[in-house]
Amino acid sequence: MDAYLFIDFGSTFTKLTLVDIEKEEVIATEKSYTTVETDVTIGYENALKKLNQKVSGDYNIVKKLACSSAAGGLKIIAIGLVPELTAEAAKRAALGAGAKVIKTYSFKLNSSELEEIKNSNADIILLAGGTDGGNCDTIIHNAKMIEKFSISIPVVVAGNKSSNDEIKEIFGEKVEYYITENVMPNLNHINVDPARETIRNIFMKKIVHAKGMENVEKSISGILMPTPAAVLKAAEALSMGSRDEEGIGDLAVIDIGGATTDVHSIAEGAPSKPGVVLRGLEEPFAKRTVEGDLGMRYSAMSVFEAAGIKKMKKYLKYDDLDIEAEFKNRYTNTSYVADDEKEIDFDEAMAKVCADISMKRHAGVVEAIYSPMGMMYAQEGKDLMELPYILGTGGVIVNSKNPKEILQAAVFTMEDPTSLKPRRPKFLLDKNYILSAMGLLTTIDPNMAVRMLKKYIVEI
Amino acid sequence: MEKKKVVLGVIGSDCHAVGNKILDYSLTDAGFEVINIGVLSPQEDFINAAIETNADAILVSSLYGHGEIDCRGMREKCEEAGLKDILLYVGGNIVVGKQDWNEVKQRFLDMGFDRVYPPGTPVEEGIRDLKEDLNITE
């Protein structure tokens, strides 16, 4: 039988998903530790060996595609003009490309900021600034500074189109650059997709080589995108469908990992009630936010800081644990696996805190304004109140016995009355942990990806 | 010639949207590129919009009587933001109650506004002034 093999080089695990093309079924999944320090090929082959033992019968792999977040994933520095406008738009484009935004800069950059950029471990710089036909000075100044400090990081230029020619001249042969469409072509309207694709292409062609992946590239067809981008693609496919297949409509994905919690929403987020005025920058239809301080292991201490003991107690069943010590233990021992009931309960309480806070930060807020005409409401961000689905993924949710309870923490409560979190969503589960694999499948056969997603993502 | 750009909006907690739409339409029709930030807009939104788009003028509307409070310090903020010579216009029911128009006008001129319009001003008058101030000859 013919099969596709999808590989996800994660920070901890290399995960394989083998898919039967004709039956559109997952034949098997397998994982092994990622071996990025030596050669990722080792971890990949270990996983492959285990996979072969599982599968009975012969299969012929037609295509092997991979996504990767190993070695810290894709790190981007975003530069814009006004912090709330082009700098924010650049940041959203980078997040949508599956990157980790290590810092956002705005206005004209100075030498110490350039030193900081030079000494950072960023993989790509996303340079924006000005609407089309708007401000040119700042982006040109910043391009000159990048050239002057001989920055060797590839630069994606996604700013005012009127400044592109001058930037080409400034960069010349000295700076590696890629020009794409403006992230904010006119005020408050964002255009993140072209920048997203450009970033993905650079990732595919250049970044993976620099991450000790060149050996494994020979044995597979290609590392196409960062893992979060694959998850976002899968979420988009499930929500919107493809040319021939119907999607299931608006949804949000909560992905709780060891270091971060990602939330993706595929929804317009327009006000669900009348009499609400929208404020602030337009939201991308497919939006991703990353909470670098919310994660089950590497970020355990910052979860403790963000949540506090009170919030943890709200979700804990047992109250005789030393909460701070439990967090410390998970932070210092990142490969820790909870095994008894109490420890599992603690892990799940942490996951609930992550779901709760990450959704609060992702969803919009509504603010009451007292005006001479009576009370008015202004909404900033997406209104997810009527969102029909929340889909859970990530180890702690997938392996939990009560995934629904964890996701329930992301729902609106009267504790945050101004938050526009979903109120009565149904819950879905990525039971087989195949979301990133399906994101990769959308690049070969989007119709099949939608059908498989609808088959394997189950309601809980 | 490249179109001149104006940032248009209703300041403060004011949500009168009709006049805003009429101004948007008329200014566009008169050949301006209008960046309309809409109702309920704080000073910062006008200024940020003007920076990103490199606008030539900011047109502030206020209809609910609190314009004077809402507009205070706007010129200073523009200066701070590097919008040195940007034109600032304001118009509408910009103060509370029936006050002497000349006094009101002077107060807003002192605040750094270039043009101040009372209620009932025809759109054409503002457009004529704008063309004059921006040296647009047809």
In chain B, the domains with their CATH numbers are 5-133 (3.40.50.280)
| Residues paired with residue A101 on neighbouring β-strands, in sequence order | A76
pLDDT score recorded for residue B138 = 65
Task: Answer whether A36's CB lies under 8 Å from A95's CB.
Answer: no
Residues A322 and A395 placed together within one structural domain of the fold: yes
CA of A407 to nearest chain B CA: how many angstroms apart? 35
Quote the crossing angle between the two packed helices A300-315 and A341-362, to the nearest 10°. 100
* Residue A12, helix vs strand vs coil: coil
One domain, residues A255 and A342:
yes
Task: Output the pLDDT for position A279.
Answer: 80
Strands A2-9 and A13-20 come out as antiparallel
What is the sign of the dihedral through the CA atoms of A36, A40, A44 and A45?
A: negative
Q: Do B15 and A186 lie within an 8 Å CB cutoff?
A: no
Selected residue with higher pLDDT from B75 and B96: B75
Residue B105: what pLDDT?
95
pLDDT 10s digits, B3-35: 899 999 999 988 888 999 999 999 999 999 999
Shared-domain flag, residues A297 and A372: yes
Within a domain: A244:
no
Please tell me if residue A369 touches chain B, with a CB cutoff of 8 Å.
yes
pLDDT recorded at residue A223: 83
Q: Scanning every residue of chain B, which has its alpha carbon at the shortest distance from the alpha carbon of A371?
A: B13
Confirm whether A358 is domain-assigned: yes
Between vectors from CA A172 to CA A171 and to CA A173, what angle results, nearest 5°?
A: 110
Residues of B in contact with A188 (CB under 8 A): 37, 49
From CA A452, how far away is CA A432, in angstroms rounded? 11
Q: Answer whether residue A15 is part of any domain.
A: yes
Nearest chain A residue (CA) to B53: A134
Beta strands in B1-138 (DSSP E): 5-11, 33-41, 57-62, 87-92, 115-117
Indicate which CATH number applies to the domain containing A91. 3.40.50.2300
The mean of the pLDDT values for chain A is 91
- Whichever domain contains A357, its CATH number is 3.30.420
Nearest CA in chain A to B51: A135
Q: Residue A229 has what pLDDT?
A: 93
In angstroms, rounded to a whole number, what is the distance separating the alpha carbons of residues A406 and A355?
7
Residue A412: inside a domain: yes
CA-nearest residue to A369 within chain B is B13
> What is the band of B114 on the pLDDT scale with cuts at 50, 70, 90?
very high
Amino acid A211: pLDDT: 62
In a domain, residue A27? The reply is yes
A445, two tokens: 């056969």
Residue B14 falls in the annotated catalytic set: yes
- Is A13 among the domain residues? yes
Q: CB under 8 Å to A445, separation ≥6 — which residues? A: none
In a domain, A451, yes or no: no
Range of the domain at A50: 2-71+211-220
Size of interface A-B (CB pairs under 8 A): 61
Q: Are residues A112 and A100 in the same domain?
A: yes
Q: Across the interface, do B52 and A369 touch by the CB < 8 Å criterion? A: no
Say if residues A195 and A126 touch (Cβ distance below 8 Å): yes
In this prediction, residue A412 carries a pLDDT of: 96
pLDDT along chain A (460 residues), means of 10: 91 89 93 82 90 85 89 88 92 92 94 96 94 91 96 95 95 95 89 93 78 75 89 96 95 93 95 83 91 91 91 88 92 87 93 96 90 79 96 93 95 94 96 94 95 95
Q: Which residues does chain A have within 8 Å of residue B69's beta carbon, measured at their own beta carbons?
A: none
Domain check: are A433 and A381 in the same one? Answer: yes
The CATH number of whichever domain residue A60 belongs to comes to 3.30.420.40
Q: In degrees rounded to 5, what are phi and psi of residue A309?
A: -70, -35
Quote the minimal CA–CA distance from B40 to chain A in Å. 8
Mutate which: B51, B70, B95, vs A, most A CBs within 10 A: B51
Domain count for chain A, please give it.
3
Backbone region of residue A186 per phi and psi (left: phi > 0; alpha: psi in -120 to 50; beta: other values): beta
Q: Write down the pLDDT at residue A187.
A: 84
Quick check: A371 and B53 CB within 8 A? no
Of A34, A12, A62, nearest to A298 by C-alpha is A12
Nearest to B40 among A81, A136, A277 (CB): A277
Write the residue in A187, A373, A376 that is nearest to B53 by C-beta.
A187
Tell me, yes or no, whether A183 and A330 share the same domain: no
Chain A residues near residue B54 by CB distance under 8 angstroms: 130, 133-136
A268 and A410 belong to one structural domain: yes
pTM: 0.85
- Could you tell me if A187 lies within 8 Å of chain B, comparing CB atoms? yes
B16 has catalytic annotation: yes
Asked if the Cβ–Cβ distance from B35 to A187 is below 8 Å, we say: yes
Residues A340 and A192 grouped into a single domain: no
- pLDDT of A387: 96
Contacts A131 to B, Cβ<8 Å: 52-53
Chain A residues touching B49 at Cβ < 8 A: 85, 187-188
Domain identity same for A258 and A388:
yes
Which residues of B sit within 8 Å Cβ distance of A? 2, 5, 13-15, 33, 35, 37-40, 48-49, 51-55, 64-66
Pair (A61, A79) in one structural domain: no
Q: What tens digit of pLDDT does each residue of B26-85 get?
A: 999 999 999 999 998 999 999 999 999 999 999 999 998 889 999 999 999 898 888 888
Instruction: Give, rounded to a whole angstrom, the gap between the first and last alpha carbons of chain A.
Output: 32
Rounded distance, CA A455 to CA A253, Å?
A: 17
* Residue A376 near chain B (CB below 8 Å): yes
HEC-encoded secondary structure of A23-69: CCEEEEEEEEECCCCCCHHHHHHHHHHHHHHHCCCCCEEEEEEEEEC
The interface predicted TM-score (ipTM) is 0.78
Say if residue A189 is in the same domain as residue A129. Answer: yes
Pairing between strand B33-41 and A286-291? unpaired
Do A53 and A98 fall into the same domain?
no
Task: For residue B65, give the chain A residue with the closest CA.
Answer: A372
Q: Give B107 to chain A, closest Cα distance, Å.
A: 23
**What pLDDT, on the 0 to 100 scale, is given for residue A130?**
92
SS3 for A323? helix
A134: distance to nearest CA of chain B, Å?
Answer: 4
